Structure 1
Amino acid sequence: MAKTNPGQFVRQVRQELAKVTWPSRKETGISTLMVFLMVFLAAIFFFVVDQVLAWGVQLIFGLGG
């Protein structure tokens, strides 16, 4: 693997950084809201699954209540 000097490395990094397309403020906001929504839905889903499993274990083994 060829070694590059620090100056060449910095130039290459700047060239690659110029190719990046950054999301707009609106796209970032929408993505953030979607992440929060999916986290909320996943939390609700796993809470319901946990409650059903706890109920099933209690029913089968007669534990906790």
Structure 2
Amino acid sequence: MAKITPGEFMRQVQAEARKVVWPSRQETTTTAMFVGILMVILALFFLGIDTVFGQIVHWLLSLA
């Protein structure tokens, strides 16, 4: 593999950076809201599952 000079490396980095398509403000806001809502839903789901299993374990331990 051929060695690349620092200058050539920087040119390649800049060329690749120009190819990046950045999301719009609207896309970023929509994605952030979706992630926030999904996070709350999953947190409530796992809270419910944890509570149910905690009660089951508590009940099983009370039998012993």
TM-score by length of 2: 0.90
RMSD value, Cα:
1.3
Q: Percent identity?
A: 41
Shift of 1:59: 1.2
The alignment status of 1:59 with 2:56, answered yes or no, reads: no
TM-aligned CA deviation for residue 37 of structure 1: 0.9
Code of the aligned partner of 2:25: R
Quote how far apart the aligned CAs of 1:60 are: 1.1
- The amino acid across from 1:35 in the alignment is V
| CA distance in 1: counterparts of 2:3 and 2:22, whole angstroms | 30
Q: How many residues align?
A: 63
CA offset digits 1:16-59 (Å, max 9, x no partner): 11111110000000001111111111110110000000110111
Indicate whether 1:26 and 2:26 are aligned: yes
TM-score, normalising length from structure 1?
0.88
Bigger share in helix = 2
How far apart are the structure 2 equivalents of 1:54 and 1:31?
A: 34
Q: Which runs of 5+ in 2 are unaligned?
A: none
If asked which structure has higher relative contact order (CA below 8 Å, sep 6+), I would say 1
